[in-house]
Structure 1
Amino acid sequence: MRRQAMSLVTDLIPDGAFHGVASRQSMKESILHHLRYTMVNLPQQATPRDWWLALSLAIRDRITDDMSATQIAHNRDNVRRVYYLSMEYLMGRMLINNAHNIGVYDAAKQAIEELGLDWEQVCDEEMDMGLGNGGLGRLAACFLDSLATLDLPAIGYGIYYEFGLFKQEFLHGRQVEHPDTWIKYGTPWDIIRPEYSQTIQYYGRVETVYDNAGNSRPVWLDTRSVMGVPFDIPVAGYGTKTVNFLRLWSSHSTEDFDLEEFNKGDYVEAVRSKAMGETISKVLYPNDQNANGKELRLVQQYFFVACSLADILRRFEKMNSDWTTLPEKAAIQLNDTHPAIAIVELTRILLDDKHLSWDTTWDIVTRTFAYTNHTLLPEALEKWSVGLFEKVLPRHLQLIYEINHRFMGKVVQHWPGRDDICRALSIIEEGDHKMIRMAHLAVIASHKVNGVAELHSQLLKSELFPYFDQFYPGKFTNKTNGITPRRWLLGCNPGLVQLFEQYGIDRDWPKNLERLRKLESFMDDEAFLDAFMTVKHQNKVHLAKIIKKECGIDVDPFALFDVQIKRLHEYKRQHLTLLNILTLYHRLLNGSDIDMVPRVFIFGAKAAPGYALAKNIIYAINRVANVINNDPRTKGKLKVIFLPNYRVTLASHIIPAADLSEQISTAGKEASGTGNMKLALNGAVTIGTMDGANVEILEEVGPDNIFIFGLNVDQVRALDSQGYHPYQYYQQDEELKGALDWLCSGHFTPNDPHAFDDIRHSLLAGGDPYKVMADYRAYMDCQQQVSDAYQDKTRWARMAVLNTARMGKFSSDRTIQEYADEIWQLPAHPV
């Protein structure tokens, strides 16, 4: 019966509806149709935003045809799916990416231009879908793109945040956060699915009850409830008919209005329940520096995984009845520890609701989940207090204790008498306040655990989880991150795409990035090298206009564009770049570097609202920039730009214009990095440490086409073990001492001479945990090598081209294919 119904649905869809081709005429007709009938507007009255919305809806029409066909095929064939659980999806703008992926970009652009409109102006009306913080969320977006492109059945799950991370403004150089109201006027890309809403429980208490035969079972009572309403974002594959989707949950109260309280005149109390329910999906990353913020964060995580699991199991039960086959139909990937509570929720459902035995339940759970670790930083490995868990999820706390008890029994058998190993491996961290270690839970319950770069995965086994690696031989594996070339070259660098076409690069390179290796055959072709660098220069001219508009500063496109764009964190060492800037500035003013290559340092970064030192570094860069940019003595050789509100769209303008890519994290601290891949793919040369994926970029491009400096992981470890003394580096290096003293002298903040004392303290008395002082001199020497290379225009052009040509490994298609083959055992299912 179900198959017959699906067949009837297919029959109702017209022939050719699943083909994403469109002429400019048909696109024009669709745009005008939506303008008139969906938006009830007329061409002569329409604003640029109206045209963008009509264009987006015309493109969505073509996507949703293929989306329907995809879901019909997947449901008909009862396919195995991967379910990707992530708290973040940094999707950015959707229009251009979708137009490219379904093959209507040229037709859409021509249609808009024939209607007398400016294509870029129309596209610029779109707000970024910024439901993520940085690399983690952008990686998830790239993975969704690749899953669809590779015809892999997949659904992403997350939260439909009303407000994204935050909109960043600089006020007198300081970061100020404003709400990111990306959804204020709606979006054409979401599809509300109220019929799939889920109601979940939290808080309450657990009571033991007995049946008529005297058997006991726990019951979760007196809970609060909240409803999750799903919004689906279609995700179209490139050059294929597969359209998967991202399902995002919006929280709603199960009790909209208390009429009795309203009639009493207590209007606030009448809507309290509704307001509390809707708070859950209100904002990405509530400030968890206080107890209320921590509690909301835990509630958010449980809300999204509980809704997602209910949806996954609903889909499974439609076609299957044997719960032991769940792992054959559902592979669930945990993107970091944020969704790790899903492990306990599935355990609860199978035990309490489906009444399976513990052994059967745990077998299902451990064959279903896999876990991706994204960090080696202890502070980024989530821990929750037992007291908070007991308040919010009392039944889940019981199950965590049971999981840990059973696991500890196996550890004792493996290492008898080794209480130290038991403490190291326990999910429960003992201390004044007992804590639940979510990374331990994820490792124990997952059949595979992967790092995201070769070095990172090695350090997971040797540094972070050495006993787990011994206990679970073969569980840990590596899946080096990747980026989608559709977004990060095809969509953001049209000049380079046109150059590929002129020189006969196979047109399927966006789906087979290794095809760009053919560029190496033009290394001795001066005309090609000139054309490549001309495209780079045009991109720099474009970025210079954005800088002028956003910052009011003129920059020279012939200068070296030195780019550092990423989250602001001490380990990423933006303050090391600041010390370099101060040193170069000092040299210029004192005539010791009059032949310096002109440089424009370009920063883009947001600091977490509660991260005071990171915000202080932003302030320091902006205050130094203000002085340098207004000092005529530099004669235009040095400019410092901090573009506000860094986001996906801004990155798509910066990356094609970059000459130098700063990837200078302390060795052993960056799990992978993906900005390094995006910049290199667009012809930027990397200066970096032997950290994260830099190691693999070095292997691909060769040592002559990258600038590597500084301590490696073993040297960092040795320095820590023998006792690291940052004052020694400070006292022994005159330029280093001079730069730091100058920064903290009050010269750049005359009204607040102690403004940067915290930076000074962190680098000296605070122990310099990220080895800025130790790496300063090697960094400065390496930057001199950069300057020397940049002056040799032919050499630099060859380096830039080879970086673009040799990035094939770093396509997210390769990464996802490895996940599918080695972790998920997920076959493709073309539509």
Structure 2
Amino acid sequence: MSSVHTDNERRKQISVRGIAELADVNEIKKTFNRHLHYTLVKDRNVATTRDYYFALAHTVKDHLVSRWIRTQQFYYETDPKRVYYLSLEFYMGRSLTNTMINIGIQTACDQALYELGLNIEDLEEMEEDAGLGNGGLGRLAACFLDSMATLGMAAYGYGIRYEYGIFAQKIINGEQQEEPDDWLRFGNPWEKARPEYMIPVNFYGHVIDGPGNTKKWVNTQVVFALPYDNPVPGYDNNVVNTLRLWSAKSPIDFNLKFFNDGDYIQAVLDRNLAENISRVLYPNDNKFEGKELRLKQEYFMCAATLQDIIRRFKASKFGSKEHVRDDFSLLPEKVAIQLNDTHPSLAIPELMRILIDIEGMAWEEAWELVVRTCAYTNHTILPEALERWPVSMLESILPRHLQIIYHINFLHLQDVERKWPGDMDKMRRMSLIEEDGEKRVNMAHLSIVGSHAVNGVARIHSEIIKNDLFKDFYELTPEKFQNKTNGITPRRWLLLCNPGLSDLICDSIGEEWITHLDQLKTLKKFAKDSNMHRKIMSIKQENKLKLAEILFKDYGIKVNVASIFDIQVKRIHEYKRQLLNCLHIITLYNRIKKNPSAKFTPRTIMIGGKAAPGYYTAKKIIKLINAVSNVINNDPIVGDRLKVIYLENYRVTLAERIIPAADLSEQISTAGTEASGTGNMKFMLNGALTIGTLDGANVEMAEEMGNENIFIFGMTVDQVHELEKKGYNAYDYYKSNHELEQVVDQIQNGFFTPGNPDEFKDLADILLKYDRFYLLADYEDYIKTQDLVSATYENQPKWLEMVINNIASSGKFSSDRTIIEYGKDIWGVEANYKKLPAPHEPRELQLRE
């Protein structure tokens, strides 16, 4: 249909921006057919669309592999400092389109498939999302990998190859139901198994004295870590870095006695238990649960990764020179390890174990190397999200590491005592071991003590860390603490997902913005340009039409594309306040019902996101939104003035369709609870206006664009603290606002569920009695600000001026900028904007500007 065809045409144009198309169409057709026949063993008579996708993926990968090998050869020859990004989550999404764009073969592939009678978009739809993350933390890791490759840094991502990623969400009778995300069931054409680098990882056992001051960890249970390498292409620079994901494999040796005593079959079956370690991603990143399997996952990833890092450190070309790489004093000069939250914090005691017990180093020397090598990023200030592992669990599973942690704590508390003699309260607060109730190890404290740099992910978040969450640690070592405001990759989040807007920007200011997003500021000169307004409006309308087609196909709901597309997509959590959004929806509904003939700015409100399977309140909020939407969408009086859609199974691929179509982005967390947010940046870059609190990166977004281009409401962090001190009484707000009282009563009395009037009584109780996130305190200002949104939307020249100012102010929020700052301030690594030689060029060519 025409919109798809238009999109293809636009994508053909944008893909050649800044990249010389070197791929030969005939060669691509030949390679495609070769893979169809010889890799997939199919011909056109029996091949399915999925077969064609795999043939195309292998064809594209062929263009990637020579760049990948050359990049690694270049790193070996030049021996730069390497960056290792350790994360339990990498929310990569799909690879095909991103890869074609980054290496500059999208147009040629498109043309080749067209000549073969195939539609490239049909094939792209067959790719499974690599959903190896819950939300922001994992998607940030993916954006960072893209930026590190684009900036020419010798960087590696390390994580776990979960057999099952984040669960697939089904909405059945308004309720979330979880289904396994079997993303590997058809295979993954992008990965390459590396069994030659398989690494043993130990668990359990006990510790005995070794020679000198070393210890031996003996009688352990061994699990093998099998690496799978995934290419990470930079944009238009022929650099391809590596994401290495570990898969758990049982040891292959068998005790022959099983043949004799009849337990052989059971012994073989029991081997699968070890492989459960990499079976499934825990679907929760904002509530710590001390599950044994999760601890094993964290150590499994850290142990395998550190052995791999040490192997590469020792085997480098530089290291092959006499005496050099046996000198571990060079480790911090050649290795930077970044811990993405506390999930990889066991890397600290594990590196100590390797240096002391295996390499025979003295404690003081080893500790200095560990601290200079490791750095820690904090992602949350919610107390329930901070990891605290029971000492008893560590003692059983990782006995040597517990000994090391105890000694780290002993020396750390000596430092505390020296600075604050006799202050037992401070020592208790700063100890790595918490002793109230069950003894636990505070992994954030371990990460701070064992790192040379600690950063938050937005300026306001970093200030809260210093002044509140880790105040004592900041006073002890203020030089460690910094801020690194998050960012997003403009390649996926504009060039790939919004080709129409990308094309317009290229036509207006050139192509440099793709790798230097701050160039967008030159768009500000068009803010009042009526011709630019028409073009922007046309692109947004086209994106809205495409999304409307999807909504009608998936939900059978016809939406008004002239309405405000008002969107809140993120994990469902009380602090993100989807419930406040729902209160606004009900308020709008009540206003239409009260005065059906009144003027009303139409809205299509979409909410999407997954709730952790055990998070009762979040799942109840999903059910309420669906109950409310069911009433509103079927009320003939409301008509197309208000529609509410719950977007099922929100994920990266769906975000790529929703974000370009959005008019309004909801970023409404309670001030002081959202570390940064990156969805807010994606919406801003794609020309959606933000309604939000002064929380996370919203604060810096408002600074960049000016308060006149964003809809800010609600309490500030200081006002939240004041309210906490004086005491929050939700009833005061409930009784003083008639609209709010009506809305809460409707939830409480079963207005939206007449068959079960008590269905949402518990949510009303939370609002009125137990609400930690002060929804009712911010309700009135939120509603007033939403009214301002509607009024502004009616004034399209004003709205479009704000849209252009949003896009033009997005430069700061590129992950390229974030990574350059990490490199300069934490890793000691510089960006390299030079290109490696292309595959058809002699390898001996020097780097090209």
What amino acid sits opposite 1:198 in the alignment? I
Give distance in 1, aligned partners of 2:78 and 2:187: 35
In 1, are the aligned partners of 2:589 and 2:642 still within 8 Å (CA)? yes
2:303 to 296, 301, 306: 306
Give distance in 2, aligned partners of 1:438 and 1:539: 44
Partner of 1:85: 86
Q: 1:809 is paired with a residue of what secondary structure?
A: helix
In 2, are the aligned partners of 1:287 and 1:293 still within 8 Å (CA)? no
Q: How does 1:3-22 map to 2 (within 5 A)?
A: 21-22=22-23
Partner of 2:354: 349
Structure 1 residue 653, shift from structure 2 partner: 0.3
Q: Structure 1, residues 671-694: CA drift from partner, whole Å, max 9, x if none?
A: 000000000100000000000000
Q: 2:645 is paired with a residue of what secondary structure?
A: strand
Give distance in 2, aligned partners of 1:390 and 1:172: 46
Q: 1:765 is paired with a residue of what secondary structure?
A: helix
1:810 to 792, 809, 813: 813
Partner of 1:368: 373
User: % of aligned pairs identical?
Assistant: 50
Q: Does 1:276 align with 2:279?
A: no
What amino acid sits opposite 2:231 in the alignment? P
Change over 3 Å in CA distance of 1:518–1:289 after alignment to 2? closer
TM-score by length of 2: 0.93
Structure 1: gaps of 5 or more residues: 1-17
Partner of 1:4: none
Structure 2: gaps of 5 or more residues: 1-18, 320-324, 837-849
Partner of 2:788: 785
Change over 3 Å in CA distance of 1:66–1:499 after alignment to 2? same
Change over 3 Å in CA distance of 1:258–1:598 after alignment to 2? farther
Query: What is the aligned residue count?
Result: 808
Change over 3 Å in CA distance of 1:412–1:669 after alignment to 2? same
Q: 1:633 is paired with a residue of what secondary structure?
A: coil
783-792 vs 793-802, which moves further = 793-802
Change over 3 Å in CA distance of 1:580–1:361 after alignment to 2? same
Partner of 1:8: none
What amino acid sits opposite 1:316 in the alignment? F
Q: Does 1:677 align with 2:681?
A: yes
Give distance in 2, aligned partners of 1:57 and 1:117: 16
What amino acid sits opposite 1:315 in the alignment? R
Q: Does 1:226 align with 2:233?
A: no
Partner of 2:396: 391
Give distance in 2, aligned partners of 1:151 and 1:184: 34
In 1, are the aligned partners of 2:526 and 2:804 still within 8 Å (CA)? no
Partner of 1:798: 801
Partner of 1:770: 773
Change over 3 Å in CA distance of 1:530–1:289 after alignment to 2? closer
What amino acid sits opposite 2:584 in the alignment? N
RMSD across aligned C-alpha pairs, in angstroms? 1.9
Change over 3 Å in CA distance of 1:270–1:131 after alignment to 2? same
Change over 3 Å in CA distance of 1:683–1:268 after alignment to 2? farther
In 2, are the aligned partners of 1:344 and 1:399 still within 8 Å (CA)? yes
Change over 3 Å in CA distance of 1:549–1:263 after alignment to 2? farther
Give distance in 2, aligned partners of 1:798 and 1:685: 11
Q: How does 1:457-606 map to 2 (within 5 A)?
A: 457-501=462-506, 503-591=507-595, 594-606=598-610
Give distance in 1, aligned partners of 2:284 and 2:793: 43
Q: Structure 1, residues 615-666: CA drift from partner, whole Å, max 9, x if none?
A: 1101110111111111111021111001111000000000000000000000
Q: 1:558 is paired with a residue of what secondary structure?
A: coil
Q: How does 1:621-770 map to 2 (within 5 A)?
A: 621-766=625-770, 768-770=771-773
Q: Structure 1, residues 334-393: CA drift from partner, whole Å, max 9, x if none?
A: 000000000000001111111100000101100000000011111111110111111111
Give distance in 2, aligned partners of 1:522 and 1:40: 54
What amino acid sits opposite 2:102 in the alignment? N
525-534 vs 604-613, which moves further = 525-534
Structure 1 residue 787, shift from structure 2 partner: 0.3
Partner of 2:110: 109
Partner of 2:122: 121
Q: Does 1:239 align with 2:244?
A: no
In 2, are the aligned partners of 1:20 and 1:62 still within 8 Å (CA)? no
Q: Structure 1, residues 690-725: CA drift from partner, whole Å, max 9, x if none?
A: 000000100111111100000000000000011111
TM-score by length of 1: 0.95
Q: 1:116 is paired with a residue of what secondary structure?
A: coil
Q: 1:280 is paired with a residue of what secondary structure?
A: helix
Partner of 2:418: 413
Give distance in 2, aligned partners of 1:440 and 1:695: 27
181-190 vs 506-515, which moves further = 506-515
Give distance in 1, aligned partners of 2:94 and 2:376: 28
What amino acid sits opposite 1:491 in the alignment? L
659-668 vs 216-225, which moves further = 216-225
Partner of 2:434: 429
In 1, are the aligned partners of 2:290 and 2:390 still within 8 Å (CA)? no
Give distance in 2, aligned partners of 1:504 and 1:332: 40
Q: 2:514 is paired with a residue of what secondary structure?
A: coil
Partner of 2:24: 23
Structure 1 residue 25, shift from structure 2 partner: 2.3
Give distance in 1, aligned partners of 2:488 and 2:751: 42
Q: Structure 1, residues 736-788: CA drift from partner, whole Å, max 9, x if none?
A: 1110110121222233222212211221221x100101000000000000000
Partner of 1:826: 829
Structure 1 residue 590, shift from structure 2 partner: 0.8
In 2, are the aligned partners of 1:19 and 1:241 still within 8 Å (CA)? no
Structure 1 residue 29, shift from structure 2 partner: 2.0
Q: How does 1:55-66 map to 2 (within 5 A)?
A: 55-66=56-67
Change over 3 Å in CA distance of 1:582–1:291 after alignment to 2? closer
Partner of 2:339: 334
Q: How does 1:253-272 map to 2 (within 5 A)?
A: 253-255=250-252, 261=258, 266=263, 269-272=266-269
Structure 1 residue 186, shift from structure 2 partner: 0.5
Q: Does 1:315 align with 2:312?
A: yes
Structure 1 residue 291, shift from structure 2 partner: 12
Structure 1 residue 264, shift from structure 2 partner: 5.6
Structure 1 residue 456, shift from structure 2 partner: 0.6
Structure 1 residue 610, shift from structure 2 partner: 1.0
Structure 1 residue 76, shift from structure 2 partner: 1.8
Q: Does 1:75 align with 2:76?
A: yes
311-320 vs 22-31, which moves further = 22-31
Partner of 2:847: none
Partner of 2:34: 33
Give distance in 2, aligned partners of 1:402 and 1:358: 10
Partner of 1:142: 143
Give distance in 2, aligned partners of 1:169 and 1:263: 49
In 2, are the aligned partners of 1:200 and 1:307 still within 8 Å (CA)? yes
Q: 2:278 is paired with a residue of what secondary structure?
A: coil
Structure 1 residue 592, shift from structure 2 partner: 7.0
In 2, are the aligned partners of 1:162 and 1:182 still within 8 Å (CA)? yes
Change over 3 Å in CA distance of 1:245–1:19 after alignment to 2? farther
Partner of 2:46: 45
Structure 1 residue 26, shift from structure 2 partner: 2.2
Q: 1:138 is paired with a residue of what secondary structure?
A: helix
